[in-house]
């Protein structure tokens, strides 16, 4: 009886300790360690997970395949373009509806220039909203298989959109990272492209992958954008 009592006491001590050890192992395996950038949250790590394949055909691509431009997909009563301008500009003034942006100031992520925005036929284009992954590039790397609803969501996803210098956006056109990079902020730019492509299951071409890897070699800790 005494032996059984001692065994029970040992078990009462060992079982909680083993359970605690198991919890610590699970936490460590699931990313319990902290650091500047968790590996899964870095652009470099995410790039390794993207499929690499040649670009597909542009056949069938038209801008309207992605739905009406700047549709109100989130149902807030405002077009997506104005949502992005209100998010990315400072000192914003809108119409009485609270949606349409009349004026504001952009700290341009592609040039580091400060640009004054004023809505008007001759001035609105000075600040444009860029599809970070160009729509035609998305089409050639997997989006051609999307449903109409998925195409609409892609074209209006806030993570895919940035207010930028209009002339630089025009210079970019439908180029991927192997063909065009912004003069400034290329690490953040490439990280955002990777985040978008990962979210939507799009692939990268070999040249695009290599260009992204070259950029990220200079900023290996660059995180994926949170939004």
66-78: average pLDDT: 97
The more confident residue out of 21 and 219 is: 219
pLDDT band at 14 (very low <50, low <70, confident <90, very high): very low
pLDDT for res 32: 34
The more confident residue out of 12 and 183 is: 183
The more confident residue out of 216 and 1 is: 216
Tell me the per-residue pLDDT of 167-196, one tens digit each, with 9 for 90 and over.
999 999 999 999 999 999 999 999 999 999
Answer yes or no: is pLDDT of 60 > 60: yes
pLDDT for res 24: 41
Tell me the per-residue pLDDT of 42-54, one tens digit each, with 9 for 90 and over.
999 999 999 999 9
Q: How many CB atoms lie within 10 A of CB 174?
A: 17
The structural domains of the chain, with segments of one domain joined by +, span 1-34, 37-217
Rounded to the nearest integer, the mean pLDDT of the chain is 88
Residue 10 main-chain phi, psi, to 5 deg: -65, -45
Tell me the per-residue pLDDT of 113-142, one tens digit each, with 9 for 90 and over.
999 999 999 999 999 999 999 999 999 999
How much of the chain, in percent, has pLDDT values that exceed 70? 82
CA-CA distances (angstroms) from residue 81 to 54, 115, 215? 31, 17, 29
How much of the chain, in percent, has pLDDT values that exceed 90? 81
Answer yes or no: is pLDDT of 145 > 90: yes
The more confident residue out of 14 and 43 is: 43
Answer yes or no: is pLDDT of 26 > 80: no
Residue 66 main-chain phi, psi, to 5 deg: -90, 15
pTM over 0.85: no
pLDDT for res 40: 45
For 118: left if phi > 0, alpha if psi spans -120 to 50, otherwise beta; the answer is beta
61-90: average pLDDT: 98
DSSP conformation class of 224: P
Is residue 103 a contact partner of residue 93, using CB atoms and an 8 Å limit? yes
Structure tokens belonging to residue 112: 């580091």
pLDDT for res 8: 52
146-162: average pLDDT: 98
């Amino acid at each position: 009886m005494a032996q059984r009592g001692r065994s029970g006491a040992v078990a009462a001590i060992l079982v909680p300790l083993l359970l605690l050890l198991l919890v610590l192992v699970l936490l460590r395996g699931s990313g319990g360690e902290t650091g500047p950038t968790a590996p899964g949250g870095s652009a470099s790590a995410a790039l390794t997970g993207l499929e690499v394949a040649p670009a597909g055909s542009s056949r069938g691509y038209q801008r309207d395949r992605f739905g009406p431009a700047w549709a109100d997909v989130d149902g807030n009563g405002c077009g997506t373009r104005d949502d992005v301008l209100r998010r990315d500009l400072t000192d914003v003034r809108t119409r009485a509806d609270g949606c349409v942006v009349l004026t504001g100031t952009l700290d341009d992520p592609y040039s580091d220039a400060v640009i004054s925005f004023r809505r008007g036929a001759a001035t609105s284009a000075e600040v444009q909203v860029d599809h970070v992954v160009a729509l035609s590039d998305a089409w050639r790397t997997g989006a051609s298989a999307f449903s109409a609803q998925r195409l609409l969501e892609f074209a209006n996803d806030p993570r895919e959109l940035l207010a930028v210098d209009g002339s630089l956006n025009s210079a970019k056109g439908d180029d991927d990272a192997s063909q065009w990079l912004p003069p400034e902020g290329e690490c953040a730019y490439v990280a955002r492209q990777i985040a978008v492509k990962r979210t939507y299951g799009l692939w990268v071409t070999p040249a695009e992958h290599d260009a992204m890897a070259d950029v990220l070699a200079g900023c290996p800790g660059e995180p994926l954008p949170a939004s």
